[in-house]
Structure formats: C-alpha cells, structure tokens
C-alpha cells in the first residue's frame, strides 16, 4: 500500500509537467499567457478581432457611425470653436473671460424733463 501511495506521489508532478499546451479556441479567440505570474495579452490578435470584416479582407472600409460623427463640423455638434469664441469675446479674446459688451445706453429722461432747443 505504501508503495502505491509513493508511486502516485511521484507520478502526479510528472503528469502536470507532461500536459500539452493549450489549443487555441476554435471560435478564433485570443490566447492569454501567464508569464511570471503576470497575464500577457496578444494585442495583435485583439486588433484583428476588432477590425471590421472588410478590413480583414483587404478591401476599402465604409466609415462607421462613430467615424462619421467625428468628421462632422463642430458647429453641427454644438461644440465651441475658436471663431465662435473670438466672436463672443470680441476684443477681450485672449485677455479675459468676460465677453465684450457694448457700453450701457445713457438713461433716457422723461419728455417733460428734456430740453427742447
């Protein structure tokens, strides 16, 4: 009995060393490798998985909705741009954050107090 237990103790580490390396998944997934306790990812494989199907075939790709949105003019997206900011700030552009405003109008006197020439 002791002989069988000793034999099993010797064979179990040898069995773990003789295991075959993992086979890549059939669905085309990427393999993650652990080196010195750190997980290393295959970024080239992840990039291939995230590429559009036509890009993998080598043909021209149609822009995605996000790319089309990024190419739109800033004014159609409601974003501020330098010309709009320059128009709003006037001569204060680059000097302060308060927009340029015309001087306030002079207070108007009621008709009874006005001087008639």
Over residues 56-85, the pLDDT tens digits come to 556 667 778 888 888 888 888 888 888 888
Which range has highest mean pLDDT (5-9, 50-54, 95-99)?
95-99
Residue 11, in any domain of the structure: no
The boundaries of the domain holding residue 39 are 25-56
Interval 40-60 mean pLDDT: 74
Tell me the pairing of strands 33-35 and 38-40: antiparallel
Residue 77, in any domain of the structure: no
Compute CA distances 56 → 26, 30, 48, 53, 63, whole Å.
18, 16, 7, 5, 15
Entry pTM: 0.28
Residue 95, in any domain of the structure: no
């Amino acid at each position: 009995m002791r002989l069988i237990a000793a034999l099993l103790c010797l064979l179990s580490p040898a069995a773990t060393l003789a295991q075959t390396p993992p086979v890549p998944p059939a669905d085309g997934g990427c393999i993650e490798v652990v080196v010195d306790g750190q997980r290393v990812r295959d970024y080239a494989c992840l990039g291939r998985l995230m590429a559009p199907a036509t890009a993998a075939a080598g043909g021209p790709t149609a822009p995605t909705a996000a790319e089309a949105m990024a190419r739109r003019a800033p004014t159609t997206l409601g974003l501020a741009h330098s010309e709009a900011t320059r128009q709003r700030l006037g001569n204060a552009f680059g000097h302060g954050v308060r927009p340029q405003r015309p001087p306030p109008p002079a207070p108007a006197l009621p008709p009874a107090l006005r001087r008639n020439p």
